[in-house]
């Protein structure tokens, strides 16, 4: 039997492609106890040139940055990880997929400081549709504002994509689902809008686009960076700007960006309709360009796609 059907049948585990069901860890693995891992979330899209990874180098770079922040000794080079991602997609025969590289502290010692533990590297893939629901991309999503805050800058390093930090995201997301929202926007320690539990946030007011600054306790999203470039290409340069909760309510348009969420319009916040209460025109324009590039229909002027080969 090959695992759950949505997962690719092979897992890249410390340099070898092995069957999904053999890719297991020991119960004493440090990461299981303390969240000591760094990871990435990447998408490959079906394009006329075959499956192509979106922003492959940028994601591998961020994985290395997260490892540097968290003092995890990477066991493979940049090029080896890059190649391994392509090999895993090819081995699993996907047209399109989500890719999860994960580097974690394994067994060796149980103390909190885990640097004596082994470092394990895995990559697996799964077929994943739109993250916030099938209608989300067209209709937009209803979101709340979480009662949980993002980490203050001197508590956790928000720029690192580090496993344990996602406990914060889980609280925000559980609360959202329990209250009937697709997602929650989380405020930073000063009470300003930071980001979703797994997405960056954009606001449009009188034709000007804003997004949370990198110093707003956010993950430096790769989709965020591309969308800022797309918006500039379309003649809407984006300003990084601190955003208050009430500004969200009176904005003309809001949307999320993320590898999983792609470009998802937000149609209400705290049950207050945003703009016309549906996807706005600038969001639609950016979304269209984003999917044209990712699916290879439009010209990839910034070299964001890497065919798996
Ligand atoms: N913020 C958080 C907390 C995330 O987990 C993600 C998803 N990686 C993002 C933002 C969006 O980042 P990206 O566009 O690189 O996927």
**Residue 259 has which token pair?**
């590898």
- The confidence band for 129, taking pLDDT boundaries of 50, 70 and 90, is confident
The predicted model gives 133-144 an average pLDDT of 94
Identify any residues that bridge with 200 across adjacent strands, giving them in sequence order.
Answer: 257
At residue 20, the 3 state secondary structure works out as: helix
Q: What CATH code would you report for 5-128?
A: 3.30.470.10
Indicate the fold that domain 136-294 takes in CATH.
D-amino Acid Aminotransferase; Chain A, domain 2 (3.20.10)
pLDDT at 134: 80
- In whole angstroms, how far apart are CA 264 and each of 50, 78, 195, 196, 260? 25, 31, 13, 11, 10
Q: Is the pLDDT reported for residue 5 higher than 60?
A: no
Q: Which atom of ligand 1 is the closest one to the Cα of 41?
A: 8
Contact predicate 44/53, CB 8 Å: yes
What one-character DSSP code corresponds to residue 47? -
For residues 110 and 133, give the distance between their C-alpha atoms in angstroms, rounded to a whole number: 40
Q: Is the pLDDT reported for residue 2 higher than 90?
A: no
pLDDT at 281: 98
At residue 266, the 3 state secondary structure works out as: strand
In the chain, where the domains are located: 5-128, 136-294
Identify any residues that bridge with 202 across adjacent strands, giving them in sequence order.
Answer: 211, 255
Residue for token digits 């695992």?
3
The predicted model gives 147-160 an average pLDDT of 97
- The confidence band for 209, taking pLDDT boundaries of 50, 70 and 90, is very high
Q: Which atom of ligand 1 is the closest one to the Cα of 62?
A: 15
Set 86, 161, 173, 297: catalytic member: 161
Residue whose CA is at the smallest distance from ligand 1 atom 3: 198
At residue 179, the 3 state secondary structure works out as: coil
Residue 161 annotated as catalytic = yes
Tell me, yes or no, if the two domains 5-128 and 136-294 fold the same way. no
Q: Is the distance from the beta carbon of residue 184 to the nearest atom of ligand 1 less than 6 Å?
A: no
Q: Is the pLDDT reported for residue 110 higher than 80?
A: yes
């Amino acid at each position: 039997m090959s695992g759950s059907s949505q997962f690719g049948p092979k897992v890249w585990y410390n340099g070898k492609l092995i069957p999904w069901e053999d890719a297991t860890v020991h119960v004493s693995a440090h990461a299981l106890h303390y969240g000591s891992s760094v990871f990435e979330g990447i998408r490959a899209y079906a394009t006329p040139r075959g499956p192509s990874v979106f922003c492959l180098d940028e994601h591998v770079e961020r994985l290395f940055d997260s490892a540097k922040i968290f003092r995890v000794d990477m066991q493979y080079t940049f090029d080896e990880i890059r190649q391994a991602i392509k090999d895993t997609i090819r081995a699993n025969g996907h047209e399109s997929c989500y890719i999860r590289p994960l580097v974690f502290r394994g067994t060796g010692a149980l103390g909190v400081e885990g640097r004596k533990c082994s470092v394990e590297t895995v990559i697996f893939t799964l077929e994943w549709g739109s993250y916030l629901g099938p209608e989300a991309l067209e209709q937009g999503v209803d979101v709340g504002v979480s009662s949980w805050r993002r980490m203050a800058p001197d508590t956790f390093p928000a720029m690192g994509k580090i496993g344990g930090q996602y406990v914060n995201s889980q609280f925000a997301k559980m609360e959202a689902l329990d209250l009937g929202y697709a997602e929650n926007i989380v405020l930073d320690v000063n009470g300003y809008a930071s980001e979703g539990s797994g997405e960056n946030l954009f606001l449009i007011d009188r034709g000007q686009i804003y997004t949370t600054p990198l110093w707003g306790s956010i993950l430096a999203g790769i989709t965020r960076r591309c969308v800022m470039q797309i918006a500039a290409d379309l003649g809407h340069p984006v300003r990084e700007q601190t955003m208050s909760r009430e500004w969200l309510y009176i904005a003309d348009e809001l949307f999320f960006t993320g590898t999983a969420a792609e470009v998802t319009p937000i149609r209400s916040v705290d049950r207050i309709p945003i703009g016309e209460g549906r996807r706005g025109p600038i969001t639609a324009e950016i979304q269209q360009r984003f999917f044209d590039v990712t699916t290879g229909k439009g010209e990839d002027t910034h070299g964001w796609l890497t065919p798996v080969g």
